[in-house]
Every structure is written in C-alpha cells, then in structure tokens.
Structure 1
C-alpha cells in the first residue's frame, strides 16, 4: 500500500503514559494531532512514537499551537501542534493540494484503536461529498462493508490517498453509533486556518472548483506537483518547512499517464503568493476579513464565522474555496494597494489610569494602555506603592510607546480621581536617566475618571463633533471670585459655543470648587487652569488685573482663540517648553483637562471564538 510504504511520518500519541490517538509529522520537529487527543497535556506528559521505526524511543513533546477547542462536543478548532524535543530523521508527510479532498478516491488512515494500540491498524474509506459540514469537516464513509471502522484511537490520524500517499486531511471524529461505518475529517486547507504555519506547506490545486473543461472533468487533471508548478504556485519543501521552487524534471516525475495541458503559469496565483510573502516580511498589519470582503464578488462565499487566523489563511480561502478566478485578482490588487500605499503616521495615545487601591492611602492602582490603529492594547495593570509610582509609570509609558505606530502623533492622558486632578503629572521626570518634565517632551493631559462612563463619553463625542470645524475655541472664563451661579454655568456651557472652561482659581479653592465640579459634569470638553493660580490665600480677590488668575485667563484667551481644539494638547506642549526655558512664564504650571473620546476607542475588539472536537 503506497500510503504506508516509506511513510515513517505516521505517529502514535501518548498522554500520561496511555495511547490517546494518532498524529503525523508535517515539518521538522512538528506533529499535527487533534486537540482532544492531548487535552490533558498541561498535567500529563506527552510523548510521540513513530511505529514505522520500531525500536526507537518515544520523543517528548509539548503543545505549541492550539485551534481553540475547549472540550465541548460539536465545537470547532480541534487541532493541536506538537513540538518534539528532538527532530527525528524522518521525512515529513507529503501534503496533497486542497482540491483532491473531494475526489472519489480510496483513502486510508493509520490509527491505534483498542487492541491495536501498539503497532496500529489501517482503515479505508472515501469522502462522501465536497460539502464542508459546519464549514469545517468533510464526511467519511467506509470504502467497503468490512474491515476496520473508524474508532477511538484514530483521532489525529492523517487521511492519505492510497495511490500516492499524500495527506489530504486529519481524522477528527468517528460516527459514535454502533454499526455506522463513517466519520469526519478536517481537510488541510481548514487545518491551515487554525495554524498559519501549514498554509505555506499545502500546495494549491491547479484548478478552481466549478471550472469545467470541454469533454467533462476539470482543468488540470495532473497530480499535485505538476498542477502547482503549472499554476505558478509554490510547493512545499517539508524538510525546510517553507515554499520552494519545483524544477521541471520534478514536475514531470509526478505527471499522470494522461498528457497534461501545456505548462501555463498562473500570474494571479504567483502574484498573490509573492504579495503575501512580501506582506509577511514587512509585518503588514491588516484585517484579512476586511481584505477578503473588499475583494469578494456578489456570489462568493462569506468568510468563515471565526475569521481568518492569518493573511495566508485568507489567501488560501480565496484560492481553494472561491469559484470566481477574478476574486484572486481583486484580492491581490487590494493587498498590493496596502503594501504600496504611502505610510501614514496616524495618531496614537497612551492612557495612564491611576486610582485609589482600596488597600490604603499608600497604594495606587495603575493601568496603562496603548491606543493605535483604533485598537486598545493593554500594557500593564498593578497596584504599586506611592514611593515608586513615578518610576513605575515612567517604565510602563516607555513600554506603551512600543505599541504605537512609529511617528504617530502621540498623546499621554492621565485618568485621575477627581481629588487628584491637580497632580502635576506633566512635571514628572521622563525617565530615570532623563529629568526633563514629561509634559515638555510629549503632549500630556488629564481627565476625570468619572468622565469615562459610557453616557458621558457619548455626550463628549457629540460636543467634539461640533468643535471639529472650529479654527479656534472661545474660553468661558470662571473668575476667581466665583460670583456666577453654578447652575447657570452649566446652562451656559451646554448652550454656548464655548468649548473651553478656563479657571482663574485652582480646583482647591472653595470659592470656585462648585463651578469646577459643574464644568466636569456638564461636561465641558476642555478645562484649563494654573496650579499656581489665585489660591485659597486670596479669599477676597476681586479678580483685578494684578490677580495671577486673571493674568492667566487673559493669556489663555490669546492662545486658544487661534488654535483648533484638537491641537490644544500640542499647543500646550509648546507653552510648557517655553515656560521651562523662561522664568515666571504664565504657562509654567498649566493644567489641561482635555477629553476627546475618539482618541480612546476600541471598535474592533476581537471576540474569543470557542472551537472544539468531534472524535
């Protein structure tokens, strides 16, 4: 039987000293099996034996990739990748093109059911239809009414063509009912959805399903290497685990007896392969589902509900599961446009959330996140003593910058409890070896923790949409005397065109504290004050020209009137830099509460999809 002749890559999997299933070697030191075969790998040691090499000791292995199977019946992603402690001197399994999984040809699997758990046994069967059950499995039925049926112990076994020995999939399930000689397998192009490393090893077929030729049959009836070679697609070098070119002589050795059409390179297939490899080298950050959706025609299938695990997976879906050849062209065009588009720095933001720990005044709860490409990337979350708070924040901000697009227009926002809003976080040193104030290097703003509520963010977003067209912002002045009724202040902030509430007194001042609270909850998009403004020691200040708070508001008026609201953080950065170089500059202790929720959105949070076995 060709499927076993020289096929040393068939593997037996043991977990905790007991045979739990089968597997097969697909690359150097890598074995594929079902996730449920090694479901206890965290507690029980896993070993792999190659029965076609009797006498060789078992090889220890560990799970390095997982399809997401969670142990529930009829779930998806029943795939695990094992990495061996030592690489055996065995050629990996030859993988067939994805298209042959549906042909009516004899198939075999080498499994280890009860009674045959030492040396294994063989089951023969065929595929019933090309229909993917649940978008994942192909049904198998017995080749004849006698012989070994699929049973427990075949899970993870390679499904191979008897005539060529090439692998087309992996057994994941037996029928489960007495007397029913059927089961299921996961074809290789589906396996590649869950483990992108397999995408580079499965050759694409030379035809597209539904593309008939005159006289019946499909274009490209020659076997694997010849079809892949003529299409201009790579075929795998399993030993190297990568694509490699196929010499004409090698292709001819695999050509069927019937004459194949004259070799014709598929420029679209070759171009798509080159673009995907280029994207991988460049580290292109793109959404494969969005890319496919942009390229798909009206009659093309929907993308898998679980999405694509990689760009390779999406490209393989286009090549193997889409009937329209024009979709390959469109997909390649979309990818090419992403790769050749001029780079845009965009915007990035770092959110530093500080809060009361609830475990004493000496401890502070810290959470740091980076926002880039409209996605939130958590950096750190910890409760730290106040004595090392600044050092911890310095280090975590440095870590967060690694998550931002290089050159992005950055912003550092401190989210603080209301009673901490006057903290001079902009004056904290940039780092242990750089005592430059953080606010003199990057735009630094603060915001109230309570304003992070969804309802408040909604109102703020609407306010910012109105401010987007402004070339400057009008300051609503709150004088140090605090003579305005706070209720009327709320109405004025809501109804007026003022986008900024400026305070002559500090938030610590009892005279204007109610006005400050009102401005926070109105909510005013921007609040500005000076930490050394008119303080509590000037309780009877009439707000005349010699008042430091009045002088601050006068200077602020002149700056804000000519700056778009969105640019205020960077404008304040410039003011802080000037103030650092000049004595008694009016902006030296400026505090900017600036809150545009659109800089901190996460609309594409990735849902966790649970997937699981069926064997």
Structure 2
C-alpha cells in the first residue's frame, strides 16, 4: 500500500476518531465521532500532511440516533478550505471479498498514537448484518486490534489502497478481535454523491451523476409525481419500482425496504447483478412523472449525445430495419372488478422491447394515457422505422374504435389516418399453442404473393363454431372477412372460431348490419365484395399499410356518401415482429 495522505484524524472536543478525504472539501467519518459537533469544535488533520488542523462542519448525516445498534452511523464533514492532497479512490463493492479472503487495512488514531497506526483485518463474509454492516475479523491473532480511535477509518485493500468501507465499531471485549465495517455502497445510501465515486458495473460516474440529478428533480417536485398511480400509490413507491425492475425472479427486497427513490436506484446499481435492471427502474419511474421533458430524460437514461448505452457503449443495431417497428398498447381488465384497466405501452426496435408506460386506470383515463404514451414511444424509433400501432384488446372489446381515436389534444385527425393501426386478441396472444401455429402460418404466407380470403356473411351467424375452426385449419385460410361486426353472440362465436384456427388476418366493418336471415343486398355483402376487390391480391405482410391508405382515403373523401372503408377494422397478428417477452407480460406492481 502506498503512503496515503488522505487518511484523516478527526477531533470533536475531547473525542478523537478517524476519517478520510473523498473530495477536496469533504471528509467522511462516523456520526458518533462528531456526536457533540453542535457544541464542540470539529477539526481535521491529515496523515503525512502539512495542512495542520483544518476547521470543519457537519453537512450531512446518515440518521444515527445515538445507540450502538442504530443504522446510519455516517457523517459528512465539509472543510473550511480546500486541501491540496489527492482524495481516496474507491474499489468496486465486490472487491472486498474473495477466496482466499482479501487483506484489508484500517488506519486509525488510538490514544498515544498521534501519527496513527494500521490494523490488519478481513471481511468475514459479504452478508450484510441488519442490512447495514459487514463483520470484520483480525487477519492474525496478534497485531493492532480495532480500538477507540479507529471509528471512521477507511477500510482499504492492502494491495491497491482503494477504499471498500469504513470502520464503524469494534468488539467491546478486547479479547474478541473483530469489528464492524460500513461498506462503501451502504454509505452511499446516506450520502448519494458518494455513489458517483464508487465503481459500478456498466455505468460510469457521469451516468450515476445524471441519474441522481433526475431522481432529485422528481423528488424535489420539478417533475411532480402525480395523477393516477402517483406518489401515494403502491406502484410508484421505491419498493414497487424495485420489484418491477428486477422482475418476479430477481433478487428480493432487502429486509427493511427502501426509504427513497435513490436508495432503490443505488441498490440496483451497486448490488443487483443485472445491469439492465436500473434502466427499467428509470423507465418505470418516468411513467409517473407529469413533466414531459423529465419523463423523456428518465426514459432515455443513460443515453447522452453520442452515448447510447451503459458506460458509453453503443447498442447493437440490426443491419437492416425490420418490416415493422411496432408500438404495442395492451389494454386488459385489471381483475379487481372495479371497472379499471391495466394499460401497458411498449415499443420494439428489432426484437428489443422497451417499456414506455404501465398503469392501472379507470376507463375514462385509458384513452388519454395510451395516446400520450404512444406519442412518447415514437422517440424510441429509428428515423427510418416503419411504425405499426398494435392494440391488444380483450376479445369482447375488439370492436373498440381505436383507429378512430383523436390522435392528440392538438390534432383532431383519427389515429388510423396518422399511422397503420391494427388490433390483436388478448386471449390468443397469451396462448403459446396459437402463437406457435401463427408463426407456422406466416412462414407459408411469406412464400406467397397474395392471401386467400374466406367470407362470412351477415346471414352466417348460426354457423357451428367448432366446424368453422376445423374447416379454416384444413382449408389453410389466410384471411377471414366478416360482413357484420362482433357485437352479437353469433358473430362473437365465429370470431372466436376464426381466432382459434390461427387465422392471421380478420377484417370487418365496425358498424352496419347485425345479421339475420335475408341479407343478399345489405351493406355487409357490399363490404365483403370491396374487400375481395381491394385486398385479396396483396401480400399479407403489407396489409396494415394498405388499410392505412384506405383509411386516409376515407377520411379525406368529401363525397356525399361515406367511403366503404370509413370504419374498416383490421386484426393482424405476426408474432415474429411482436415477440412477447415474459418481463413485461404482467407488471409485478400492477
């Protein structure tokens, strides 16, 4: 270990302890060393230094309350003037442990040792006791024990001199040669600025500094967390955000949970092996922030100009843009029976899926929330991406006019005239067997230039659903066109039969005929004739684009009669461009 002048002796009245310099103006020590700082003067002097005694004041504490077992035994001292010596450097949190054990050194100032002295120790294990400290045991049966005067001393790696923690207590019995270390990552819970100095896998100092600034902006009210699922809800609490970030198979909550957003973020940075978990935390937090700029900054963290990924690495990009870059909007009953819906919006770039927002909402909030998050999802798309807005809806709500939703508060035009809009059946999307059959179907469709249309007219509502399912499978049908919307039980059953046959494309008019015995010349028959005329010679993979053009044409038409496709609905499902990773299927905090 090289000579380190940043080791400090702390004096507070008659009490003496140790500390260490972490910036040119800040020294860390134990809170109990400066417990009398309100009445007694605090001074700092440095090992091997010529600065003499430098006055200091306590500017932050970890909340230690005076008892030996109290957590947060940390104090941050601000020096009366900058000092010229180089501050301590930190090791990664895991570097304190190993097999064989790492030799650790502490530089303390016991009585009658003005120059200070070294003690050799090692960490018993990496397990946190009481969620706060690590047990130290003597490296050998002889040598300097931890005694008063070592409290606040930096615990360093003997071979590199880098800091892994701070001595917070010694055994009361001198014959028991052990003590306690507050690990560096635990100290950063109480003084967030310290997190910038501690190495963490995948993220550099600037990344952590930026995340801390964003979280402080949220906590300080600049981007106030509010609305449905706001700060008072289970979803937005640090514990819930943590669970959402690690997923159901990730590390459990620490025993005492998290006291703040930064506590949870720092734990993800420093103690969770999955380096992507903290980006999911940031994106999830964004969903509860009202300020659009702050929301976008949280969602894009840690990206900066020219720096797209953790630690300054650029993400791997596909060599060619996929056929579609979907924006997926899943709307499902919450299951609570109170008329609330789980709304989840995510966006794909290639096979990578990024969550944009997830919230449980009353029915009147579903549309504005979904439209707002769809707008934000566009920020994640490549400039040359072909967007596809795909709504996943419960089967009984497939006739919802999502394509007709007003695009935004400032744009009255329908969403379906702005971009290709399709719907998917929620039940079928959750079926592994039907998704497998759909993939097989699309492999055959890729080899053909046109799709085969099966017509189900208005008068066919009495058809046997089971026979229809089996017949559609045997007939290798690619598309089913309905002359009547799925608003009555007969048509709903035939819709279900077509979905169970793994038909990739269903089309229907959202309004019009309700079915019956005699409908030779009704609007439903005309609608099916137009479908056959316009779509059956087209490649199925391009149907969302063609339907979008038809919707544009219908909404732009000033003819006295409504365009035949003004309320055309399209169910189009290709699992290959809409993979469904388990990580977002159900939010653990939803």
Task: Compute the TM-score of the two structures, normalised by the length of structure 2.
Answer: 0.57
User: Is 1:597 matched with 2:564?
Assistant: no
1:170 to 1:150, Cα distance in 2 relative to 1, 3 A: farther
Partner of 2:551: helix, strand, or coil? Answer: helix
1:348 to 1:123, Cα distance in 2 relative to 1, 3 A: farther
Q: Counterpart in 1 of 2:200?
A: 193
Number of residue pairs the alignment of both structures matches? 430
1:563 to 1:170, Cα distance in 2 relative to 1, 3 A: farther
Distance (Å, rounded) in 2 between the aligned partners of 1:525 and 1:156: 67
Distance (Å, rounded) in 2 between the aligned partners of 1:419 and 1:179: 71
- Residue of structure 2 aligned with 1:562, choices 506, 514, 537: 537
1:364 to 1:442, Cα distance in 2 relative to 1, 3 A: farther
User: Is 1:514 matched with 2:493?
Assistant: yes
Q: Counterpart in 2 of 1:89?
A: 82
Partner of 2:552: helix, strand, or coil? Answer: helix
User: What are the Cα deviations for residues 170-228 of structure 1, in whole angstroms up to 9, with x where unaligned?
Assistant: 4699999975679999899x962358336999xxxxxxxxxxxxxxxxxxxxxxxxxxx
- Residue of structure 1 aligned with 2:458, choices 463, 470, 480: 480
Residues 506 and 530 in structure 1, CA contact (< 8 A), matched pair in contact too: yes
Q: Counterpart in 1 of 2:238?
A: none
Q: Counterpart in 2 of 1:505?
A: 484
Q: Counterpart in 1 of 2:243?
A: none
Partner of 1:550: helix, strand, or coil? Answer: helix
> Which residues in structure 2 correspond to 1:280-429 (within 5 Å)?
306=273, 344-346=320-322, 347-356=324-333, 363-373=339-349, 374-386=352-364, 389-429=366-406
Q: Structure 1: which 5+ residue stretches go unaligned?
A: 13-18, 39-48, 64-78, 202-303, 311-334, 607-615
Residues 123 and 150 in structure 1, CA contact (< 8 A), matched pair in contact too: no
Distance (Å, rounded) in 2 between the aligned partners of 1:385 and 1:367: 10
- Residue of structure 1 aligned with 2:475, choices 466, 481, 496: 496
Partner of 2:450: helix, strand, or coil? Answer: coil
> Which residues in structure 2 correspond to 1:422-441 (within 5 Å)?
422-441=399-418
Q: Counterpart in 2 of 1:225?
A: none
User: What are the Cα deviations for residues 20-65 of structure 1, in whole angstroms up to 9, with x where unaligned?
Assistant: x9875545788899xxx99xxxxxxxxxx984366411121689xx
1:547 to 1:195, Cα distance in 2 relative to 1, 3 A: closer
Distance (Å, rounded) in 1 between the aligned partners of 2:341 and 2:488: 27
> Which residues in structure 2 correspond to 1:230-309 (within 5 Å)?
306=273
1:567 to 1:31, Cα distance in 2 relative to 1, 3 A: farther
Distance (Å, rounded) in 2 between the aligned partners of 1:519 and 1:308: 43
RMSD: 5.6
1:83 to 1:350, Cα distance in 2 relative to 1, 3 A: farther
Q: Counterpart in 2 of 1:443?
A: 420
1:404: Cα distance to partner? 3.8
User: What are the Cα deviations for residues 358-383 of structure 1, in whole angstroms up to 9, with x where unaligned?
Assistant: 7788x542413213242241413131
Partner of 1:396: helix, strand, or coil? Answer: helix
Distance (Å, rounded) in 1 between the aligned partners of 2:326 and 2:73: 37
Distance (Å, rounded) in 1 between the aligned partners of 2:445 and 2:179: 65
1:414: Cα distance to partner? 1.9
Task: Compute the TM-score of the two structures, normalised by the length of structure 1.
Answer: 0.55
1:109: Cα distance to partner? 1.7
User: Is 1:124 matched with 2:106?
Assistant: no
Partner of 1:192: helix, strand, or coil? Answer: coil
Partner of 1:399: helix, strand, or coil? Answer: helix
Distance (Å, rounded) in 1 between the aligned partners of 2:398 and 2:170: 65
Distance (Å, rounded) in 1 between the aligned partners of 2:21 and 2:202: 14
User: What are the Cα deviations for residues 282-335 of structure 1, in whole angstroms up to 9, with x where unaligned?
Assistant: xxxxxxxxxxxxxxxxxxxxxx9925579xxxxxxxxxxxxxxxxxxxxxxxx9
1:385: Cα distance to partner? 4.4
**More RCO (CA 8 Å, sep 6+):** 1
- Residue of structure 1 aligned with 2:154, choices 143, 153, 157: 157
Partner of 2:273: helix, strand, or coil? Answer: coil
Distance (Å, rounded) in 2 between the aligned partners of 1:564 and 1:87: 75
Distance (Å, rounded) in 1 between the aligned partners of 2:406 and 2:502: 31
1:426: Cα distance to partner? 0.5
Residues 107 and 150 in structure 2, CA contact (< 8 A), matched pair in contact too: no
User: Is 1:460 matched with 2:460?
Assistant: no
User: Is 1:146 matched with 2:143?
Assistant: yes
Distance (Å, rounded) in 2 between the aligned partners of 1:194 and 1:173: 26
Distance (Å, rounded) in 2 between the aligned partners of 1:491 and 1:400: 39
Partner of 2:570: helix, strand, or coil? Answer: strand
User: Is 1:523 matched with 2:520?
Assistant: no
- Residue of structure 1 aligned with 2:518, choices 541, 562, 578: 541
1:92: Cα distance to partner? 5.1
Q: Counterpart in 2 of 1:469?
A: 447
User: What are the Cα deviations for residues 510-569 of structure 1, in whole angstroms up to 9, with x where unaligned?
Assistant: 653432231133332221111234x12x623343xx432222222222443333322221
Distance (Å, rounded) in 2 between the aligned partners of 1:357 and 1:97: 46
User: Is 1:573 matched with 2:548?
Assistant: yes
Residues 157 and 170 in structure 1, CA contact (< 8 A), matched pair in contact too: yes
Residues 109 and 154 in structure 1, CA contact (< 8 A), matched pair in contact too: no
